[in-house]
Structure 1
């Protein structure tokens, strides 16, 4: 390799970064997603040369998927230190359920981006730079073609994208070839690590990289530029479809956050526009794209539910699972719910008893949550006197059927099933522990305190009160 080609590679890389830098304030902090591989190593080195070490922070995500992951972390920390760049790392674990639902590669990618966003917030970064290049883009377009993806998939990776939450993600090297990055690395003695999994052709991307791309290069030398243009055209067409989806979804989105859609108005659209709305909606929620077959099946089931006379029968009939989420339909609204566990037969939970002595949290592992007894005043509708909590054992029980809740206003009792329906609680959210004081139902999650069952509350002498809450455990995939 001659000095001229080396200097050309340096100029091309630094010019690409200069274009991005010209769009940023002079004092903005730049985060570099730094895995230690060739691409990110070149990006980090060039960012230091173009922007200065003081503006850069190198962020490393330790997945623990490789036995060499600890060594990679040490390499990255040492390299950043040698460049005078601030360094941070975060360890993540890919949950088995997430890997099973979305695949190891997709689950690891989601965990990586979440960790990077967290570290960007910690360091006040205004821009996150990613090191994908033209070869990566060509591979992505080919993969999406082979998977039968739509325009959103063929649009592949955008040079820059601002997610709804988080810092803008920028790919300064997207127009550059890997060979040009190798030339830069050689010219500047950039050291990098090799991920042994990149040689495993059981992964579709690796199979393309090692077996297909070399053959394409031999017969179609300019195929990378051609596929890049395909991605640009697909992105342009997708923007038009998104604009149409925004028009169609405006009168359909329900709720304050727009995370659910009205069932009947959605089905008033023809199949193509309804599917376009569903795909757009899923992207706004951060869900990965689903196959055409799955989307068509979801729309078929939604139309079938609409044809049934019983809304409740429809609520139970819908079954669309995707990437760890489940599509639900309840009371005229459709929404996605995170799947927490498989629906295997479960043994009955035995009652759990607590002699309350001022505890603020009562953890119930069997229900994966906790009752919280927070300090409150007597005017809180979900507050009870502390004396009531101590006068009989507190018992957590699962529903057995037929439980009744007294209505204070009407002086009558109603079945808990009817109360749940009145409060709009879907069937799948009713598996909650019921809190009893002795043998009397005291509190129902999602509903509140069974206040009328204790008529002497209002006459309770002055003292301390506690607000009862039910809090589910937080699960991190």
Structure 2
């Protein structure tokens, strides 16, 4: 635990600064008595404690003088170009003239806001749990909440995923599109850190996809018995695994293979007793969202499509006789671990 000398006046400055910036309940909660110092010092095991938040600056200075403690003043503390210093030197003395003891009231306000924030987090956890389906949010369940509860849930969802908190205007726009767009619309709202999609009445949060970062050309390769092959340009690994039915090792090793992304018009037959269908039809049947389809790689042997990630193997590549058989499996980098 790292102890710091933040005091009552610092807490009052924090609350006033957040109030002027238009912060919500979380901002008006001021400084916590203790919290992880990972963001500041990069150590998850280190906590920062502020045991002096209820004590005024004057009381601390008097105690320091009584015990003849020496201190060093940071010269930047006098620079009014910093917002906190402008409040400390120009604004707070004027407030203290007409409202003596306002610091204590600001500290109590921060304590009330901390309590309110804890309740909002508790409610958001319950609401998100009720709406969450396979890491995405059920729009029908979300629509049953009031606007304030929806916003509280979405803000908590963003925070829990490590995404920067959206502005009120952005949140209003996203909420409107989630509920007002046509049911079959493939909605995408772009955030600085992610993309928000609505697909089949579910809300997904996905990493932002830069079209320029998608593979622009196919990559030829051969298989020489490896259990996996890494393709950095495609952002993942192709695993070659034993299976009850699949390709023979000898046949696979003799092929000129190629990894690519879907260009349009490709077809695949999953089994002898199933019809040949387009990849689009397979993706729709498998409930694969459109934004994932553009990144999922496919494998050709010469010009024959033999595998599509997110769908499976083409049965034409299966060996007719029994024996050791192999199938492909694709895993993106972000799915590991």
The reply to whether TM is greater than 0.5 is yes
Q: How many angstroms apart in 2 are the aligned matches of 1:141 and 1:178?
A: 16
Q: Could you tell me how far apart the structure 1 residues matched to 2:250 and 2:47 are?
A: 55
Q: Is structure 2 residue 321 aligned with structure 1 residue 459?
A: yes
Aligned to 2:151: 275
- Deviation, 1:403, is 0.8
Give the Å deviation of 1:173.
Answer: 3.8
Deviation (angstroms), 1:262 = 0.7
Counterpart-to-counterpart distance in 2, 1:362 and 1:168: 40
Q: 1:404: how far off?
A: 0.8
| CA displacement 1:124-145 (0-9 Å, x = unmatched) | xxxxxxx482465444433432
Matched with 1:9 is none
1:87-132 Cα offsets, whole Å, 9 max, x none, are xxxxxxxxxxxxxxxxxxxxxxxxxxxxxxxxxxxxxxxxxxxx48
Pick the aligned partner of 2:200 from 309, 331, 336: 331
2:304 paired residue number: 440
> Which stretch shows the higher mean deviation, 396-405 or 172-181?
172-181
1:211 Cα deviation from its structure 2 partner:
2.0
SS in 2 for 1:412: coil
**CA–CA distance in structure 1, aligned partners of residues 159 and 232 of structure 2:** 34
User: What are the ranges of 5 or more consecutive residues in structure 1 without an aligned counterpart?
Assistant: 1-29, 33-42, 44-130
Gaps of 5+ in 2: 38-43
1: CA distance, partners of 2:214 / 2:265: 20
Aligned partner of 1:293 in structure 2 is 169
Correspondence 1:56-455 to 2 at 5 A: 131=4, 133-134=6-7, 137-160=11-34, 169-173=47-51, 175=53, 180=60, 207-221=82-96, 222-255=101-134, 259-305=135-181, 308-309=182-183, 311=184, 314-315=185-186, 317-321=187-191, 323-339=192-208, 341-343=209-211, 349-373=216-240, 376-379=241-244, 384-408=247-271, 410-430=273-293, 431-450=295-314, 452-455=315-318
Partner of 1:13: none
Distance in 1 separating the partners of 2:155 and 2:168:
10
Shift of 1:400: 1.2
Distance in 2 separating the partners of 1:220 and 1:434:
67
| Structure 1 residue matching 2:82: 3-state secondary structure | helix
Query: How many residues end up aligned between the 2 structures?
Result: 319
* Greater fraction helix: 1
TM-score, structure 2 as length reference: 0.78
Structure 1 residue 390 displacement after superposition: 0.7
Q: TM-score, normalised by structure 1?
A: 0.57
Does the residue aligned with 2:243 lie in a helix, a strand or coil? coil
C-alpha contact 1:404 1:413 (8 A) present in aligned 2? yes
Secondary structure in 1 aligned to 2:224?
Answer: coil
Match of 1:469 in 2: 329
Q: Determine if contact 2:235/2:333 at 8 Å carries over to the other structure.
A: yes
Compare 423-432 and 352-361 and name the one that shifted more: 352-361
